[in-house]
Every structure is written in C-alpha cells, then in structure tokens.
C-alpha cells in the first residue's frame, strides 16, 4: 500500500510541479475541501478566496495554503437581537468545528472543537468571523469562515480541480493510489462569482496588517480575465464599509492608505515561492497602477 510521500511524488510527476512540500499541502487542503462540500453542511457555505480562484476558475498559477468560506443564507441573521445573534453564530461555529474535528481525525491532523482554545478556534467581531486552525505537525492550515457578510453578486456552481489532469491517470494508477484519489479528485462546489472575489480581494489588501503578494496577483489575474476594478468601485466600497464593523480593520485601512509598501511586497521571497508560474512583466506595471486605484477608492468611503 502506498504512503503519502509516494502519492506526493506521483502528483509531482504527473503535474510537473517540482515543489513537493506545497504539493503535499494542496493534497491536504483539497481533502478538507472535498469533505466539507460533501457533508450535510456543504450547501450552507460558499467557497471563495485565492484557493477558489486556483481550483475553480484559473487553474494552478500559484499555491494556496488556506480555505475561505462565507455562510450562504445571510437572511438567517435578519431581525435577531445582539445576544440571539451571538448564540446562533456560536451554534453554527460549533457545528462547523464538529465537522472539522471528524475530518481532522480521519486525516491524521490535529484539531479540537473547543471554542475556548485559540490554538484551534479564533472568534472575532462578535462571532461574525471565525478562523479554524488545523495542524499537521507544525504546519498550519487555516480555514476562515465569514458568517456575517455583505454578498453582492449571485453565487455559482463550479468544479474544484486538483493538480492532476484526470485524463492522464491510468487505470492501474487509480487502483494503486485509490486511498488518496478518493479525496484528491475534482468536486462540485458552490462558489463566489469572480466579481465578488475581486471586491473582497481589494478589501483584504486594504484591511490586512501586512499585505501579501498573493492578493495583488489574484487581483491581477481577475483583471486579466476581464473583471475590471474600475467598474466595481461602488461594490468594493460597499464591501469595505461592511468591514468597518471590525476595529482592527479600521486601523489597518488608515495605515495602509498612508503607504502600501509596494516594493517590499514585490520582493517577499516566501510569497514568491507560492507561485507555480513566474509572474509576467506586466504584473509589475499593474502593481504600480494599483496604488492609484486605491487612492480613488479612498475618496469614496
């Protein structure tokens, strides 16, 4: 029976991506994603963020090391008082954590459904946003869920893919690696639209304490595929205003408006390691233009 390292080698060989440690993490992330969307909670959440772009829209131009979701039925929270809302949000947090605990146990990773332990569950904004932390030895896999969010565009149903082209797997390979391929195969998932992802990516850039190159490149890829920032300015501003509920985001926006430290972001070696394909020359030009776009947004909120 093959072990994980042998399957990682198989994926590296089939995909041509010579980054085994990141390939191994992608295998784990995809397993978690597939288990979530195949569960009874699967239709309650929308997959979003960089992992969604890579797996569901544009293919593997970079690796993603976390998963992001939004609660799909925002009307669920309408009319609830503050205390009742917190109770309901905590209830759904524990339901999701219970699912993750089962997945983690089966996958041999460390996670506990304990909302009092910040090593595993970190709750913010009156239970509106929760970060779940799963551990594979010292490696962290973050799953962030926005339970309360401003959803502007209609969601879609798409296929989340892996690094392997299904047509290039021989039957004997399927049999040999069956234990792993049960989890590392394409799966249908409810997802954010590209427009919704772009709005939240721009918001993430402005609200993070430290910007990440991957967010800028995701916006670049979205623009390259026809999603225009200028046309979505009003929607981006609406997303930013919704984030103003969180004090830490208000402070980060003020700081980031003073300087985005573009050169430092571009030169981050850890972020560069995440890329599978080398960013084209026009990406540097996009980065220089992006700051001007942000300045125009600043006057809107």
DSSP collapsed to 3 states, 242-271: HHCCCHHHHHHHHHHHHCCCHHHHHCCHHH
Question: Is 258's pLDDT higher than 80?
Answer: no
Q: How many Cα atoms sit within 13 Å of 276 on the Cβ side?
A: 20
Average pLDDT for 109-119: 97
CA quadruple 202, 205, 207, 208: dihedral, nearest 10: 150
Q: Which two tokens stand for residue 222?
A: 């979205």
Q: Does the pLDDT value for residue 247 go beyond 90?
A: no
Average pLDDT over residues 87-105: 98
User: Can you tell me the mean pLDDT for 113-128?
Assistant: 93
User: Which pLDDT score is estimated for 156?
Assistant: 98
At 228, list the tokens: 């225009």
Decide if 265 contacts 216 (C-beta within 8 A).
yes
Task: Assess whether pLDDT exceeds 70 at residue 301.
Answer: no
Task: Tell me the average pLDDT across 196-209.
Answer: 91
Mean of pLDDT values over 257-286: 81
Look at residue 299 in the predicted model and tell me its pLDDT. 58
Confidence of residue 83 (pLDDT cuts 50, 70, 90): very high
Confidence of residue 293 (pLDDT cuts 50, 70, 90): confident
Percent of the chain with pLDDT over 70: 94
Nearest to 153 by CA among 227, 89, 59, 96: 227
User: What is the rounded average pLDDT of the residues 91-96?
Assistant: 98
pLDDT score of 120? 98
pLDDT score recorded for residue 246: 67
Q: Has residue 253 got a pLDDT over 90?
A: no
What is the pLDDT at residue 300?
A: 60
Q: How far is the C-alpha of 6 from the C-alpha of 12, rounded, in Å?
A: 10
Residue found under tokens 């391929």: 181
| Tokens 């690696």, located at residue | 177
Mean pLDDT of 230-236: 92
Q: What rounded mean pLDDT belongs to the chain?
A: 91
b or e along 29-62 (b: 16 or more beta carbons within 10 Å of the residue's beta carbon)? Answer: bbbbbbbbbeeeebebbbbbbbbbbbbbbbebbb
């Amino acid at each position: 029976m093959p072990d994980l390292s042998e399957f990682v080698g198989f994926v590296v060989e089939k995909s041509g991506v010579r980054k085994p440690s990141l390939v191994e993490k992608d295998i784990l992330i995809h397993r978690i994603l597939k288990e979530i969307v195949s569960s009874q909670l699967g239709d309650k959440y929308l997959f979003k963020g960089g992992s969604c772009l890579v797996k569901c829209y544009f293919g593997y131009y970079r690796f993603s090391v976390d998963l992001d979701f939004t609660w799909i039925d925002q009307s669920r929270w309408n009319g609830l008082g503050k205390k009742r809302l917190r109770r309901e949000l905590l209830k759904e947090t524990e339901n999701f954590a219970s699912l993750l605990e089962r997945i983690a146990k089966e996958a041999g990773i460390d996670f506990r459904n304990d909302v009092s332990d910040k090593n595993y569950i970190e709750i913010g904004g009156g239970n509106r946003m929760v970060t779940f932390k799963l551990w594979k030895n010292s490696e962290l896999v973050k799953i962030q869920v926005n339970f309360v969010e401003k959803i502007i565009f209609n969601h879609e149903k798409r296929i989340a893919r892996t690094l392997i082209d299904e047509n290039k797997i021989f039957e004997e390979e399927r049999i040999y690696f069956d234990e792993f391929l049960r989890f590392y195969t394409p799966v249908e998932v409810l997802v954010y639209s590209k427009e919704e992802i772009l709005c939240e990516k721009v918001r993430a850039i402005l609200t993070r304490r430290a910007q990440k190159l991957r967010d800028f490149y995701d916006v670049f890829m979205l623009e390259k595929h026809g999603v225009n920032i200028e046309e979505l300015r009003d929607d981006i501003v609406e997303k930013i205003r919704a984030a103003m509920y969180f004090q830490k985001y208000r402070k980060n926006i003020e700081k980031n408006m003073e300087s985005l430290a573009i050169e430092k972001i571009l030169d981050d070696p850890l972020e560069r390691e995440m890329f599978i394909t080398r960013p084209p020359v026009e990406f540097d030009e996009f980065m220089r233009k992006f700051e001007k776009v942000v300045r125009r947004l600043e006057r809107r909120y």
